[in-house]
Structure 1
Amino acid sequence: MILKGFKEKSNKKYLNKLLNERQGRVDDSKIESLGVIFNYDETGNFEQFRKLADKLKVRPNKVKIIAFSEREIELQSTWDVCYTFKDFGWKGAVNNSELQAFIKTEFDALISFYNNDILELKLMTALSKAKFKIGVLQDDERLNDFILKTKLNEFDVFENELFKYLTILNKI
C-alpha cells in the first residue's frame, strides 16, 4: 500500500511537470487524424466515437480510440486498446507498447472524453503528441487546448458543439 501511494505521488509530480512545460500551439491545419481517450466506466459506448470521426470526415484508418477502465474488462474485437492502472509504472512510465504507440502518434486532434479525476487518464492526455487537444470540462484546464462544457451522457450536444466550433476554427 505504501509503495502504491509513492507511485501515485511520483506520477502526479511527473504530470505536473508535463503540464507546466506544455505550450499550447493551435494552427489552422485541418483535422485528418483523430485520437480518442475515454473512460469506459463513465461512458461505455465505443461506437459513438466512430460516428463522430465519420461526421468530422476522418478516414477510419486515421482514427485510434483507447479506453480506460478501473477494472479488467473483456475486450471486443472492435476495440483499439483498453488499459488499466497496471499499464503505468513510476514517473509516468507507460508499460504497454500499444499505449506507447498511441502517445507517440501525432494526431491532428485528440479528444479526451472523461470527467473523473483519474491520474492515468490525465497522463495519457498530457503525454500525447497530438497537435490540438479537445476535452470536456475537467479539474485541470491545462490538459486541453479547447474545452467544451458538456455532460458525458449528452454526447449529441458534445458532438454538435464540437462540429460547430471546429468549423469556426477552420479545422474541418
Structure 2
Amino acid sequence: MIFTGFKRKTNQIFFNKKLTEFVNETKEESSKKINNIIVIIDAINDEESIVKELSSLLKVDKSNITTVIAVNKKNKKAPIENSFSGADFGWRGKVKSDYLKNILTKKYDLLINYSKVDNLYVNLLILQCKSVFNAGFTHLNNELYQLLVDCEPDDYTVFNSELKKYLTILKKL
C-alpha cells in the first residue's frame, strides 16, 4: 500500500529530528548499580538463553529483565506475547501498542540491543525508552549507545563477557 511507505518516511523524519535532540541532551549519569534491564532481540528462540546468561553474569534477578522481541510482521494466528513490529508505531513515531506504552513508562538502568540489523522501529523504541545506559553492537547506529561492542552479532557470549567487563570498569555492577 502507498501509505506504508509514506508512514515509514514520516517515522524516519521523526527519528532524525528526535535523534539530534537525543544526542544534544545530556543523559543523567547514575552511579547506582544496575537493577532493571531491558533487552531488545530479534530472534525469538534466543530469548530464554540470553535472559538466563545475563541474569547469572550481571547478578540481576530474571524478574528485573524485560525482553522485547522485534519482528518484521506479527503473526495473527500465533501471536508472540512480548513482540512488536512496525505496525505498533503510527505516524511520526507515535506508539500505538499498549504493551510498548507500558514499557516506555518504566525506567531502566541498562538497555541492551541484540539486534542483528539496524531497524528503524527498534531505533524509535530505543530513542523513546527511559534508560540510563545503552549498549549494542558496533554495526548499529552509534549515536544511540554509550557502549558498543565489536563482535559478531550471533556471538552473545563474547558480547556479554565484554559488557560485564566494561560495566565493572564503569562501576555499574
1:2 alignment counterpart: 2
Which runs of 5 or more residues in structure 2 are unaligned?
none
Task: Give secondary structure in 1 for the equivalent of 2:108.
Answer: coil
Structure-2 change in CA distance of 1:101 and 1:136 (3 Å): same
Following the alignment from structure 2 to structure 1, what is the Cα–Cα distance between the partners of residues 34 and 108?
A: 8
Equivalent position of 1:46 in the other structure? 47
Equivalent pair of 1:37/1:65 in contact (CA under 8 Å): yes
**Shift of residue 24 of structure 1?**
4.7
Report the TM-score when normalising by structure 1.
0.89
Give the number of aligned pairs.
167
Q: Could you tell me which residue of structure 2 aligns to residue 109 of structure 1?
A: 110
The two structures have a TM-score, normalised by structure 2, of: 0.88
CA distance in 1, matches of 2:64, 2:79: 21
Partner of 2:120: 119
Shift in Å, 1:65 = 0.5
Moved more, 6-15 or 131-140: 131-140
Determine what percentage of the aligned residue pairs are the same residue.
Answer: 29
Structure showing the higher helix proportion among its residues: 2
Cα deviation for residue 97 of structure 1 reads 0.7
Q: 1:34 maps to what in 2? A: 37
Matches within 5 A, 1:15-94: 15-22=15-22, 23-25=25-27, 26-40=29-43, 44-51=45-52, 52-73=54-75, 74-75=78-79, 81-94=82-95
Q: For 1:97 and 1:58, how far apart are their aligned partners in 2?
A: 26
TM-fit CA distance, 1:48:
2.4
